A and B are shown apart, each in its own frame.
Chain A
Amino acid sequence: MNRVFFKNLRREVGKTLGRYLSIFSICALGVAFFVGIRATSPDMKDAGDALFRISNLADITVMSTSGLSASDIAALRAIEGIEAVRPALFVDAMMDSASHAEANVRLYSMPIKEKEKYGSLMDVFPRYDIDPEPDYEMNRLELASGRLPVGDREVALDAQLEKQPGIALGDEVTFRTDSGTATLRVVGFVYAPLYIGSIERGTSTIGNGSCEGFAYASGNAIGKLGTKLPIIGLLSTVYTRADIVVSGKEGVSAFSPEYDALVSLVTSRIKDYATSVTGTWYIQTRAANPGYEDYASNTDRIAAVGDVFPLIFFIVAALVCLTTMTRMVEEQRIEMGTFKALGYGGAAIVAKYLIYALSACVLGGLAGALVGFKLFPKVILTAYSIMYRMPYLEMPFRADIAFAAILSMVACTGAATLSASWAALSEAPSALMRPKAPKAGKRVFIERVPFIWKKLGFTAKVTLRNLFRYKKRFFMSVIGIAGSCALLVTGFGVRNSIFSIIEVQFGKIWHMDLQGFAYEPMPLADFEQLIARNEAAPYIADTIYAFDSICEVGAGDAKQGSVHVFGAQNAEALLGKITLSYEGKSVELTDEGVVVTQKLADLLSLGPGDTITIYNGTKEYGASVAGVTENYVYNYVYMTAAYYEKLFGKEMQYNEFLAEYAPGVGDDQADGITTLFLADQRMYAVNSIVSLANMVTESLNILDYIVLVLIVGSALLTFVVMLNLTNINIGERMREMATLRVLGFYDSEMYDYIFRENNALAIIGAAAGLALGRYMHAFIIRTCEVDMVMFVREAGKGSYILAFFMTLVFSLTVNLMMRRKVRSIDMVQSLKSAE
């Protein structure tokens, strides 16, 4: 390869800049999508890890029904694998401000540093020695405004509460519980790592069961409010929780299995100790923090999308490169032949095309990577940052992902170019220098059906023959268009599958307005009485009672956590509130087995007749699966009370009720009903189904942004592919069109002649794309699901119609754009050469 070679190559690029740019841009698009979407999940995980690390978020929280004594704390500290233990108090209280804005708030105790300095602000007899290690910071708060409390009369509020009217820095607020009140001054608004969500605050044990914000104050301040503990020792301090930081976390991501293993090791050691104390200990990991699990699942969802979706872009991009380079090689036959005749070897000749294509590919890939790493995570995570705090979000250039993407693109482009040029090289130089014999015209199969053929107009005949004459071009165009259209179908279909969940789950499957939970299961008669005697009783109707407990289940080696084991009085009661059906047919619940929700059955590969194992504490129970039911939110194992007894060997107790509103009662009264129910100490929470539906809708709304990004990308790809193919198509037929111009075809007649074919290709390609899209959609849906949720399996009619319509519109737009090229065909030049 000498100087002239590179000169030739440089000039080539300049002369055919359009073609060069077309390869450049398609590679840029493919790589941008690939790296952008794949980088989003790690970016989000890294942001989370940074937040947890910098704030030193606790890994484990221990709570006890009978309180944690100082000796408990000391014992915890002694457990192997624990770096630090912070004992603390927490309580749910109603917060009143001067302007009578009321909020349901969870108060946490925090260490007050430099007690001596602020001695005057502390009570005379401090009852809670809460800060044994004031210099070790755990669950660090971040100030939004103001400062942290330094005394017993001060409080820092959830920054979210500042949005509420009537609460400002310097205000005095009063906290109220059953056991006491405390008036504190708001000195600051803060962010807490315990609450990674911007909005989600978890459940509350008071009020309507929904926590609206958190607050941090000194232990003494909280002590005034009392706790739900039966015993508050005067002489011995008793804590309501211990926050624990585990050791050995260096370099371990919170979202990795190594972290889970580390934590579960320590958890099991704590559990062992817990067997030796009185009272029940509740041991929670970060999963119990409001919004934490969601955050983690979202990173998984994005990762799943990132694994599959960009591949399609790659394939289409590779196809476009193939068509473009094939065209280029065909155009340069004579030059190739000349070089060969001059004595250049095959490798040298092919090298020109390889370097041409690969340079465009690499440059385009780099450009795409630079844009992709910034653009996609930015768009997607900006949407997510509405829901989550990500103060340490970075969107770095990830060399490993970029390398993988560009390498793959180079491989595809290289392979395409080689295959295009090698075939030409196998011909003898003289053959190359002769013009290629035009492909012989052939009868199209439709011609053999004279019935149809005779009726077709002249242009229609020409169009049909042209379509089927060049099979290679036909298939490449159809595949390119079909791939892009399929992407559109998938994008719209995924959107439909996600959002239909709400309609189907809350309209078709669940027929209830309220669900309520008691703390502890109790005999049916007791529970019925509890409900009946409550002041809210007249507001509900058609109540059924059930047992609901979250367990781990499994089959074979597979295990699945967070599954609801749900038992109803009898099948009738359950069916009154929950529709059991599968593929359109209703599913029966008998006393002989359980009905498992569809997603769970998929995850564990279960069908009717199999056995599902339910883990409860240390014991295992094998239940017989009688049926599978369609369900989209959460996973359930349904059974009757009779089967419960058979399975677990004891009578079923009840802790949940499902009810509908009494006639005339509406959702606006839900809050009131909830408050009335929660007045009974035995009730834990009451939720209206509408609020649950809203919550699910909101968490799904975020996915909307991602899907939108995908749809826009697919649309772009479709457009670029069509532009490219049409360009090539016209380029190949310059001579033919010049002849038509000479014959005296007006512009509009020229457009008809050429673009009719494009439109036909678009329709055929779009139709194929619809079929392909159906499979792609089904595949993506299955891949991107999270365990908790099942997406609706159908893409929806609208998706197909929209995708088809958009493809056609793009085709017409491209034709409009290409008109200029057709208009400007130089008759004289095009008809000059022998080729």
Chain B
Amino acid sequence: MAYISLKGITKEYRMGEITIRALSGVDLDVEKGELCVVVGPSGAGKTTLLNILGGMDGCTRGEIVVDGEHIERYDRRLLTGYRRDTVGFVFQFYNLVQNLTALENVELASQICRHPLPAAEVLARVGLGDRLQNFPAQLSGGEQQRVAIARALAKNPKLMLCDEPTGALDYQTGKQVLKLLQDTCRQSGMTLIIITHNSALAPMADRIVYIKNGTAEIVVANERPVPVEQIEW
């Protein structure tokens, strides 16, 4: 049984007479500790899929099984708990709380977790050990994203979901962030799923999923994933 198993995930939006299908039956399995990259053109449904997997949205039809639990049956409260203890989310636009320092932003997440990692340590691990007391406005884009990653990591999640984490960053910084993610995935055995529209990143993953028109068209297992620093694009 795969660690994460998605079967027939369908997401429909009904607006009056019009029904829009964001996802039409996605089937996907991800093993524990895998680094999975989801690629596809804009509007294909990548983000929708991630949102559903991350417990931020529900699906119209289908099954979501994570570590044996049927998430699609979860009610509001259970979903909150799922997001709280199981999932770590990283967004394209960081979504840090402007009014809190880097350290406090991470503490915001770690203080509600059951088994968190120490906030300062995690920040040190992402290379921001000396920037703990700075506010987001005093950090560069890359640094902010690293704080966001630290925030997700501090929760010690089973599953880490990243939606275009390097979308707002330049080439070098983006590479650094991806390297960080890849290393963490390898070292801690955390399952990591990254969405990107940049198909050049495919080689870094253990599993590559091509989403097109709301379905997982191709799923490819990669025998030899490549370290990010070696990939050029």
Name A residues whose Cβ lies closer than 8 Å to a Cβ of B: 437-442, 458, 461-462, 465-466, 469, 735-736, 738-747, 749, 827-828, 831, 834
State how many angstroms separate the Cβ of B86 from the closest Cβ of chain A: 9
- Report yes or no: B99 in contact with A441, Cβ–Cβ below 8 A: yes
- Report yes or no: B95 in contact with A831, Cβ–Cβ below 8 A: yes
- Report yes or no: A441 in contact with B98, Cβ–Cβ below 8 A: yes
Give the nearest-CB partner of B98 in chain A: A438
- Residues of A near B104 (CB, < 8 A) are 458, 461-462
- Residues of B near A736 (CB, < 8 A) are 97
- Residues of A near B113 (CB, < 8 A) are 744
Stretch at the interface among B76-84, B192-200, B211-219, B222-230: B76-84
Given A743-B109, A743-B112, A744-B112, A828:B101 Cβ within 8 A: no
Give the docked Cα–Cα distance between A469 and B97 (Å): 12
**Is B89 part of the binding interface, using a Cβ–Cβ cutoff of 8 Å?**
yes
- Residues of A near B80 (CB, < 8 A) are 741, 744-747
- Residues of A near B99 (CB, < 8 A) are 441, 462, 465-466, 469
Given A461-B104, A746-B77, A439:B98 Cβ within 8 A: yes
- Report yes or no: B95 in contact with A735, Cβ–Cβ below 8 A: yes
- Residues of B near A461 (CB, < 8 A) are 104
Give the docked Cα–Cα distance between A740 and B84 (Å): 10
Give the docked Cα–Cα distance between A524 and B94 (Å): 97
- Residues of B near A749 (CB, < 8 A) are 112
Give the nearest-CB partner of B84 in chain A: A744
Given A744-B83, A831-B91, A739:B137 Cβ within 8 A: no
Give the nearest-CB partner of A441 in chain B: B135
State how many angstroms separate the Cβ of B152 from the closest Cβ of chain A: 9
Give the docked Cα–Cα distance between A741 and B112 (Å): 12
- Residues of B near A827 (CB, < 8 A) are 51, 56-57
- Report yes or no: A743 in contact with B56, Cβ–Cβ below 8 A: no
Contacting A at CB under 8 A, from B21-74, are 51, 54, 56-57
State how many angstroms separate the Cβ of B134 from the closest Cβ of chain A: 9
- Report yes or no: A458 in contact with B111, Cβ–Cβ below 8 A: yes
With beta carbons under 8 angstroms apart, the residue of B83, B93, B138 that contacts A742 is B83
List 28 A-B pairs, Cβ < 8 Å.
A440-B135, A440-B138, A441-B99, A441-B137, A458-B108, A458-B111, A461-B104, A462-B104, A740-B108, A741-B80, A741-B83, A742-B54, A742-B95, A743-B112, A743-B155, A744-B80, A744-B81, A744-B87, A744-B112, A745-B80, A745-B112, A746-B80, A746-B84, A828-B51, A828-B56, A831-B91, A831-B95, A834-B93
Give the docked Cα–Cα distance between A163 and B108 (Å): 75
**Is B143 part of the binding interface, using a Cβ–Cβ cutoff of 8 Å?**
no
Give the docked Cα–Cα distance between A461 and B133 (Å): 14
Give the docked Cα–Cα distance between A469 and B84 (Å): 28
Give the nearest-CB partner of B85 in chain A: A744
**Is B100 part of the binding interface, using a Cβ–Cβ cutoff of 8 Å?**
yes
Query: Interface size of B by Cβ–Cβ distance < 8 Å?
Result: 34
0/1 interface trace, chain B 100-135, chain A, CB 8 Å (1 if under): 110010011101110000000000000000000001
Given A743-B84, A746-B80, A440:B98 Cβ within 8 A: yes
- Report yes or no: B137 in contact with A438, Cβ–Cβ below 8 A: yes
- Report yes or no: A742 in contact with B81, Cβ–Cβ below 8 A: no
With beta carbons under 8 angstroms apart, the residue of A440, A735, A743, A831 that contacts B108 is A743
Give the docked Cα–Cα distance between A116 and B100 (Å): 102
- Residues of B near A834 (CB, < 8 A) are 93
Specify the main secondary structure of chain A where it touches its partner: helix
- Report yes or no: A465 in contact with B100, Cβ–Cβ below 8 A: yes
Give the nearest-CB partner of B137 in chain A: A440
State how many angstroms separate the Cβ of B19 from the closest Cβ of chain A: 18
- Report yes or no: A739 in contact with B95, Cβ–Cβ below 8 A: yes
- Residues of A near B54 (CB, < 8 A) are 742
Give the nearest-CB partner of B157 in chain A: A744
State how many angstroms separate the Cβ of A442 from the closest Cβ of chain B: 8
Give the docked Cα–Cα distance between A828 and B91 (Å): 11
State how many angstroms separate the Cβ of A200 from the closest Cβ of chain B: 65
**Is B142 part of the binding interface, using a Cβ–Cβ cutoff of 8 Å?**
no
- Report yes or no: A458 in contact with B112, Cβ–Cβ below 8 A: no
Name B residues whose Cβ lies closer than 8 Å to a Cβ of A: 51, 54, 56-57, 77, 80-85, 87, 89, 91, 93, 95, 97-101, 104, 107-109, 111-113, 135-138, 151, 155
- Report yes or no: B57 in contact with A828, Cβ–Cβ below 8 A: yes
Given A441-B100, A465-B100, A834-B93, A458:B107 Cβ within 8 A: yes
- Residues of B near A458 (CB, < 8 A) are 104, 107-108, 111
Give the docked Cα–Cα distance between A831 and B94 (Å): 10
Give the docked Cα–Cα distance between A232 and B215 (Å): 119
State how many angstroms separate the Cβ of B148 from the closest Cβ of chain A: 10
State how many angstroms separate the Cβ of B176 from the closest Cβ of chain A: 22
- Report yes or no: B101 in contact with A441, Cβ–Cβ below 8 A: yes
With beta carbons under 8 angstroms apart, the residue of B57, B97, B138 that contacts A739 is B97
- Residues of A near B100 (CB, < 8 A) are 441, 462, 465
With beta carbons under 8 angstroms apart, the residue of B83, B93, B136 that contacts A743 is B83
- Residues of A near B112 (CB, < 8 A) are 743-745, 749
Given A741-B83, A747-B80, 4 more contacts at CB 8 Å?
Answer: A441-B135, A469-B99, A740-B108, A744-B81
Give the docked Cα–Cα distance between A742 and B51 (Å): 10
- Residues of B near A746 (CB, < 8 A) are 77, 80-81, 84
Give the docked Cα–Cα distance between A735 and B56 (Å): 14
Give the docked Cα–Cα distance between A738 and B107 (Å): 17
- Residues of B near A466 (CB, < 8 A) are 99
State how many angstroms separate the Cβ of A386 from the closest Cβ of chain B: 56
Give the nearest-CB partner of A743 in chain B: B109
Give the docked Cα–Cα distance between A387 and B118 (Å): 76
Give the docked Cα–Cα distance between A367 and B135 (Å): 49
Give the docked Cα–Cα distance between A440 and B101 (Å): 11
- Residues of B near A438 (CB, < 8 A) are 98, 136-137
- Residues of A near B82 (CB, < 8 A) are 744
Give the docked Cα–Cα distance between A438 and B89 (Å): 22
Give the docked Cα–Cα distance between A534 and B81 (Å): 93
Give 10 nearest A-B pairs by CB, closest first.
Answer: A744-B84, A441-B135, A440-B137, A744-B83, A438-B98, A827-B56, A739-B95, A465-B99, A441-B99, A743-B109
- Residues of B near A441 (CB, < 8 A) are 98-101, 135-137
With beta carbons under 8 angstroms apart, the residue of A437, A740, A742, A745 that contacts B56 is A742
Give the docked Cα–Cα distance between A712 and B148 (Å): 49
Give the nearest-CB partner of B54 in chain A: A742
Give the docked Cα–Cα distance between A738 and B97 (Å): 11
- Residues of B near A828 (CB, < 8 A) are 51, 56-57
Give the docked Cα–Cα distance between A735 and B54 (Å): 18
- Residues of A near B83 (CB, < 8 A) are 741-744
Give the nearest-CB partner of B151 in chain A: A743
State how many angstroms separate the Cβ of A745 from the closest Cβ of chain B: 6
Give the docked Cα–Cα distance between A465 and B100 (Å): 8
- Residues of A near B93 (CB, < 8 A) are 831, 834
State how many angstroms separate the Cβ of B78 from the closest Cβ of chain A: 11
- Residues of A near B107 (CB, < 8 A) are 458
Give the nearest-CB partner of B95 in chain A: A739
Give the docked Cα–Cα distance between A738 and B56 (Å): 10
Give the docked Cα–Cα distance between A741 and B101 (Å): 19
Give the docked Cα–Cα distance between A568 and B77 (Å): 83
Give the nearest-CB partner of B77 in chain A: A746
Give the nearest-CB partner of A463 in chain B: B99
> Which of A741, A744, A747, A834 has the most chain B CB atoms closer than 10 A to its own CB?
A744
Give the nearest-CB partner of B82 in chain A: A744
Give the docked Cα–Cα distance between A745 and B112 (Å): 7
State how many angstroms separate the Cβ of B136 from the closest Cβ of chain A: 7
> Which of B54, B83, B138 has the most chain A CB atoms closer than 10 A to its own CB?
B83
Give the nearest-CB partner of A745 in chain B: B112
State how many angstroms separate the Cβ of B29 from the closest Cβ of chain A: 24
State how many angstroms separate the Cβ of B137 from the closest Cβ of chain A: 4
State how many angstroms separate the Cβ of B196 from the closest Cβ of chain A: 17
- Residues of A near B108 (CB, < 8 A) are 458, 740, 743
State how many angstroms separate the Cβ of B101 from the closest Cβ of chain A: 7
> Which of A440, A441, A736, A738 has the most chain B CB atoms closer than 10 A to its own CB?
A441
Give the docked Cα–Cα distance between A745 and B89 (Å): 13
State how many angstroms separate the Cβ of B113 from the closest Cβ of chain A: 8
